[in-house]
Amino acid sequence: MPEKLKFSIDGREGLADQGMTIYEAAKANGVYIPVLCHYEGLKPVGSCRICSVLVNGRWMASCTQPLSEGMVIENNTPQVIEYRRAIIEMLFSEGNHFCPACEKSGNCELQALAYRYSIMVPRFPYQFPQRQIEAYPGFLLEHNRCVQCQRCVRAIQTEDGRKIFAMKNRSKDVRVNVDPKLAAKLSPDQIQKAMDICPVGAILKKEVGFIRPIGQRKYDRQPIGSEIEGKK
């Protein structure tokens, strides 16, 4: 076994394996760093920036930054929480998120993060962008709710590695683009996976809405992150 790396997070000492990212190291030590674009098993892309932490005075995205020996990490300090909250608020003001009418309510990670960080209303003016809803044989793509996390881009590909979801345009107009022919061939299981992996209500499997009632959903009983914090 290679030697473990020592680090500290919010004053707590921790040990982690070589090659872990800051996010993984924190998780292994029972410390929750919030992520939105990151998903277990997918290559991290550092797009949402919610997992930003301060390391020796420098900002880093903990989902992509490898841990190194002796790092002193600030995660739950007022400044980090403040920036994190602002980024979550940016996502709310940038899209059109109407939680009460959304199928994903209660299972939505963006909503859960807003609750966890006690966000009542974003400090930024709502942009009310004009966005479309696209319909495909087995699913809907609700662009109003998309947060450009690229989870679907990474997770749903054909066997020979072609991307069914890919990013199109750039800057404020960047959006998920679907390959219609390949999308038509998705199996019901793949569509379910796409919907489950989407942190918000942007990918919706047709004909299965509200199968689990509100009140019994993932984040209805306990805040996001509890599953990590409960471990230690």
Partner 1 sequence: MDSIKKIISRYKKDRTRLLDILKEAQTVEGKISDQAIEAVAAALKISRAEVEGVISFYHFLSDRPTGKYVIYLNNSITSEMSGREKVALALEKEANCHFGQTSPDGLMTLLETSCIGMNDQEPAAIINGVIFTSLNEEKVKKIAGQMRKNIDVQEMVEEYGDGANQHDLVRAMVKNHIRREGPVIFGDYQTGQAISQVLKLTPEGVIDEIKKANLMGRGGAGFPTGLKWELCRREKSPEHYVVCNADEGEPGTFKDRVLLTERPEMVFEGMVIAGYAVGAKLGILYLRHEYTYLKRYLEYILENMRQNGFLGRKIAGHNFDFEIEIKSGAGAYVCGEESALIESAEGKRGDPRDRPPFPVQNGYLGCPTTVNNVETLATATQILNHGSAWFRAMGTPVSAGTKLLSVSGDCDRPGIYEVEWGLTLNGLLDLVGAKDTLAVQVGGASGQCLSEAGFGRKLCYSDLATGGSIIIFNKTRDIFSIVRNFLDFFIEESCGWCTPCRAGNVLIKNKFEKIVSGLGTASDLAEIEAWGKLIKATSRCGLGQTSPNPVLTTLTNFREVYEKKINKETDFRSEFDLARSVEQACQVTGRKFEEEREDA
User: Site for partner 1 (CB under 8 A): which residue of 78, 120, 181, 207?
Assistant: 181
182 binds partner 1 (CB under 8 A): yes
29 binds partner 1 (CB under 8 A): no
Question: Which residue's CB is nearer to partner 1, number 102 or number 178?
Answer: 178
178 binds partner 1 (CB under 8 A): yes
Pairing of strands 52-55, 12-16: unpaired
| Whether the Cβ atoms of residue 150 and residue 47 lie closer than 8 Å to each other | yes
Nearest to 152 by CA among 117, 190, 187, 114: 190
Question: Which residue's CB is nearer to partner 1, number 89 or number 220?
Answer: 89
With the C-alpha atoms ordered 104, 109, 110, 114, is the resulting torsion angle positive or negative?
A: positive
User: Site for partner 1 (CB under 8 A): which residue of 140, 174, 197, 228?
Assistant: 174
Give CB contacts under 8 A, 24+ apart, made by 185-189: 186/137, 186/138, 186/139, 186/156, 188/138
Q: How far is the CB of 141 from partner 1 (least distance, A)?
A: 12
* CA distance linking residue 136 with residue 115, whole number of Å: 32
Q: Which amino acid is at 150?
A: Q
User: Site for partner 1 (CB under 8 A): which residue of 166, 197, 208, 228?
Assistant: 166
User: Site for partner 1 (CB under 8 A): which residue of 127, 132, 222, 226?
Assistant: 127
User: Site for partner 1 (CB under 8 A): which residue of 8, 56, 158, 226?
Assistant: 158
* CA distance linking residue 84 with residue 51, whole number of Å: 7
User: Site for partner 1 (CB under 8 A): which residue of 48, 113, 152, 204?
Assistant: 48
Binding site for partner 1 (CB under 8 A): 44-50, 52, 59, 61, 64-66, 83, 86-87, 90-91, 93-94, 123-125, 127, 147-148, 158, 160-174, 177-182
